Amino acid sequence: MGKPTGFMEYGRVENAAVTPLERIKNYNEFHSSLSDKERREQAARCMNCGVPFCQNGQLIGGMMSGCPLNNLIPEWGELLYRGSTELALERLLMTNPFPEFTSRVCPALCEKACICGVNDAPVTVRDNERMIIEYGFENELVKPVTGQHRTGKKIAVIGSGPAGLAAAEMLSRRGHDVTVYEREDAVGGLLMYGIPNMKLEKDVIKRRVKLMEQQGVTFKTGVNVGKDVKGAEINREYDAVILACGASKPRDIKAEGRDAQGIRFAVDYLKDSTKTLMAGGKPDEAKGKNVIVIGGGDTGNDCVGTAIRQGCKSVTQLEMMPKLPDERAANNPFPEWPKVCKTDYGQEEAAAVFGHDPRLYQTTVKEFIKDDKGRLKAVKTISLDFSNGKMTEVAGSEKTLPCELVLIAAGFLGCEEYVAEAFGTKLTQRGKLDTDSHRLGGKLFCAGDAHIGQSLVVRAIREGLDCAKEADEFLLGYTPL
């Protein structure tokens, strides 16, 4: 334990954020780091508990509690407090191949399971992690693993999201020849085109990809396996194949007028915005428009923040479910994931720009209203009631909101069928690849959202690591991974 009284001496201090009205002027990441002294004080708050739930990584009550990667949080927290940042980096990289991703986009499952947070505020685990990994990059301590014995085995990874990248990273370290296929024009999957720049600047992804290339990983972009290349061709060429193609089939909204011009899936909208930005342009699809975002999750929040940066006239976020309580309910005890209302950066920005929280709870779309040219001009909403144990519409609660752009962020239905068909495998009713393990049969494996359904980046990385272990054992008969 770094400092036994640290959690009593120092309060929680997070990385400072640029004010909402200032940060919406660009798409840059907007948190600044603490000084080394302040960061060490934050690391000193770790109690080094006898049972550290922060690194537990298990489903409790159907929700993930603690870090799925089982990061050695108390250990590298103590090393950080003592000023041994290089050793802290070694401990961090033992369990997490991509801390630069998780320290930016993970909802900090570790912090929600921090025992210090039961009676006080949790340790700033995510900010500590970010400081450690960025220290590593700044001091050229994060290097590719090269010079290892080559096995001669060839592996294809279909999809370059966090699961595919994690599998490719570990298998290339092992000495296998790994080729990653990506249908988009850039590596990263949803890291690249599903998460906006202000949460994860794309140079962070490119930095990691460059290291992986130096390590021997080959990336083939703009290749849509199952369409551009047949699954049988991939099977003939490689000794093992990993499907890490995500759960990218979006859930649609069925309502009258759905064919109106101006209704888009959220991920397509975010992808186009990022592509325009990367090409040196200024995204403006939402400029001057009344925007309605359907969905209250992280993707919906990202759409709110993006629409504001594009200069929207107004933004409203529809959430079907009731507002969660501001504090833990009695039936949601620690260390379960806290089912409480979270106000994220997009909602903060909407409140700063328009003077109110953009969310409307217990509300859904009744009708999309078109003008005489088929363009969206308004959305009719209706309130929902849950008091009788099931969801019912509230009669007479319809409202008509002006709207020229709708963004559907209602989640995903699973893996796209053509990928499964290309390799002769099946999907479950929930759209996941049909297997209890990571092995689908023969030389075929799977990982990430395609295997477990829509989830978090940190769980996708865990999936990639576990899948790499199974594939390695299949190829060589044993595995040290």
Tell me whether strands 439-441 and 444-446 are parallel, antiparallel or unpaired.
Answer: antiparallel
pLDDT, residue 388, reads 83
Rounded to an integer, what distance in angstroms lies between the CA atom of residue 415 and that of residue 243?
A: 10
First to last CA, the chain: 29
pLDDT, residue 61, reads 87
Rounded to the nearest integer, the mean pLDDT of the chain is 96
User: pLDDT tens digits for 280-308?
Assistant: 999 999 999 999 999 999 999 999 999 99
Rounded to an integer, what distance in angstroms lies between the CA atom of residue 44 and that of residue 32?
A: 20
- Please check the confidence at residue 231 and state whether its pLDDT lies above 70: yes
pLDDT, residue 1, reads 64
Look-up: residue for tokens 């909402």? Answer: 20
Rounded to an integer, what distance in angstroms lies between the CA atom of residue 223 and that of residue 160?
A: 11
pLDDT, residue 148, reads 86
User: pLDDT tens digits for 424-475?
Assistant: 999 998 899 989 899 999 999 999 999 999 999 999 999 999 999 999 999 9
Q: Which domains does the chain have, with CATH numbers?
A: 6-138 (1.10.1060.10), 154-249+413-476 (3.50.50.60), 252-410 (3.50.50.60)
Confidence of residue 124 (pLDDT cuts 50, 70, 90): very high
Q: What percentage of the chain has pLDDT greater than the value 90?
A: 93
- Residues 278 and 193 sit within 8 Å (Cβ to Cβ): no
